[in-house]
């Protein structure tokens, strides 16, 4: 019996493959390499100690997906595959709906054809929108989401909830991530953004390694202890372990469950910069610039439900996240691209 990971060569997908192998599951991964590199396959195989069962496949390809379900008895799917750039989604909304929503519908139809009734979905805290107060709890109404990317996450949550309503034997775990950062302690897999990073930690890492001259701090006039934005940063390995816990739950339960995967602890931009400098003994030059459109002051999880329902909680510290990020970046200054 296998667990199928869509987007298995991506940042969170690759870390989840490793944690599933460690937990004793048979793992089958697919990716179309839109947002990932083939080199990740060999890195996962080396870390897990056995060759990764992998298929190059697009989730919109029903025939390709069916071939995988014919070759393996898939007991659950962890669904990461999707486009994820907030800004890009405002420019290419049709491609985001086609890839993220239509692709998910295709995947669910193939799952139905083969009697696979368990899905763990990669959702996002952005579905809470800007009006819900932190710490955010799963019973809050979803917010006025700010972009097509976030809307695809919300739509997919509703699609999976409707499948659960139509099939009482189906289980859908809708995991709302906060801010995943860090890397596996080996330094061999990590975040490898295309082009200039949009997100804070990969940007800091590229400043540290000399690829970028300085960090732009988007505003220091927020009502926080140091004026910069506060977020709930979670180590990617903790996030991956949350997926292992969600699969275990899904294999013995039915129905739809929304679950936050965050720490409940907030750090500001300058807290992260200071921690990175202290842990790695590297100066991170920065300049304060105007706020970024769409940013909010604070975004924090209430992680209670994950603890009570899944028996999971984050264990890594901000120092771990900074140390592991740097080890990955230092050893892979060009990510998975050849030197
Ligand atoms: C964090 C903080 C910025 C970059 C994003 C996506 C969201 C989700 C997680 C997928 C903020 C500040 C950042 C920089 C900065 N992804 N910052 N300079 O915006 O909380 O969430 O990633 O689901 O969809 O929106 O993360 O890392 O971009 O920003 O000052 O160069 O760092 O203002 O306060 P964010 P982020």
Q: In sequence order, what DSSP letters do the residues of 20-41 get, joined into one string?
A: HHHTT-EEEEEE-SSSS-THHH
126 in contact with ligand 1, CB cutoff 6 A? yes
Q: Buried b / exposed e across 27-49, counting CB within 10 Å, b at 16+?
A: bbbbbbeebbbebbbebbbebbe
Residue ranges of the chain whose pLDDT lies below 50: none
Q: pLDDT tens digit string along 109-135?
A: 999 999 999 999 999 999 999 899 999
Rounded Cα distance between 77 and 172, Å, is: 10
298 in contact with ligand 1, CB cutoff 6 A? no
147 in contact with ligand 1, CB cutoff 6 A? no
198 in contact with ligand 1, CB cutoff 6 A? yes
Q: Rounded to the nearest whole angstrom, what is the distance from the C-alpha of residue 82 to the centroid of ligand 1? A: 18
Q: Rounded to the nearest whole angstrom, what is the distance from the C-alpha of residue 189 to the centroid of ligand 1? A: 21
Q: pLDDT tens digit string along 24-47?
A: 999 999 999 999 999 999 999 999
User: N- to C-terminal Cα distance for the chain?
Assistant: 39
Give the nearest ligand 1 atom to 179 CA.
9
Is 321:279 a contact under the CB 8 Å cutoff?
A: no
330 in contact with ligand 1, CB cutoff 6 A? no
pTM of the model: 0.97
Atom 10 of ligand 1, residue of closest alpha carbon: 124
pLDDT of residue 1: 85
Q: Rounded to the nearest whole angstrom, what is the distance from the C-alpha of residue 172 to the centroid of ligand 1? A: 27
For tokens 């739809």, what's the residue? Answer: 256
pLDDT of residue 278: 98
Q: In the beta sheet, which residues pair with residue 180? A: 234
SS3 at position 117? coil
pLDDT of residue 339: 58
Residue 11 is among the residues annotated as catalytic for this protein: no
pLDDT of residue 146: 85
Gyration radius (Cα) of the chain, Å: 19
């Amino acid at each position: 019996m296998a667990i199928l990971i869509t987007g298995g060569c991506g940042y969170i997908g690759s870390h989840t493959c490793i944690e599933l192998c460690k937990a004793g599951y048979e793992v089958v991964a697919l990716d179309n390499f839109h947002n990932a590199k083939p080199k990740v396959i060999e890195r996962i195989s080396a870390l897990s100690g056995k060759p990764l069962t992998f298929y190059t496949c697009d989730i919109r390809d029903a025939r390709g997906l069916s071939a995988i379900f014919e070759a393996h008895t898939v007991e659950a799917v962890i669904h990461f595959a999707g486009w994820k750039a907030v800004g890009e989604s405002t420019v290419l909304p049709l491609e985001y709906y086609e890839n993220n929503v239509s692709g998910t519908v295709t995947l669910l139809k193939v799952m139905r054809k083969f009697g696979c009734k368990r899905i763990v979905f990669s959702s996002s805290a952005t579905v809470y929108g800007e009006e819900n107060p932190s710490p955010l709890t799963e019973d809050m109404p979803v917010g006025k989401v700010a972009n097509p990317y976030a809307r695809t996450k919300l739509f997919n949550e509703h699609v999976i909830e409707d499948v659960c309503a139509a099939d009482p034997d189906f289980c859908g775990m809708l995991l709302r991530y906060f801010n995943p950062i860090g890397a596996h302690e080996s330094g061999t897999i990590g975040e490898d953004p295309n082009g200039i990073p949009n997100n804070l930690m990969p940007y800091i890492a590229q400043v540290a390694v000399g690829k970028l001259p300085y960090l732009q701090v988007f505003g220091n006039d927020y009502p926080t202890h140091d004026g910069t934005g506060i977020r709930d940063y979670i180590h990617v390995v903790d996030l991956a372990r949350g997926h292992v816990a969600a699969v275990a739950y899904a294999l013995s339960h039915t129905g739809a469950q929304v679950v936050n995967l965050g720490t409940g602890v907030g750090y500001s931009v300058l807290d992260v910069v200071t921690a990175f400098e202290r842990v790695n003994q590297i100066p991170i030059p920065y300049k304060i610039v105007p706020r970024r459109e769409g940013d909010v002051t604070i975004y924090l999880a209430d992680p209670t439900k994950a603890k009570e329902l899944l028996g999971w909680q984050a264990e890594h510290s901000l120092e771990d996240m900074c140390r592991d990020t740097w080890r990955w970046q230092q050893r892979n200054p060009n990510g998975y691209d050849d030197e």
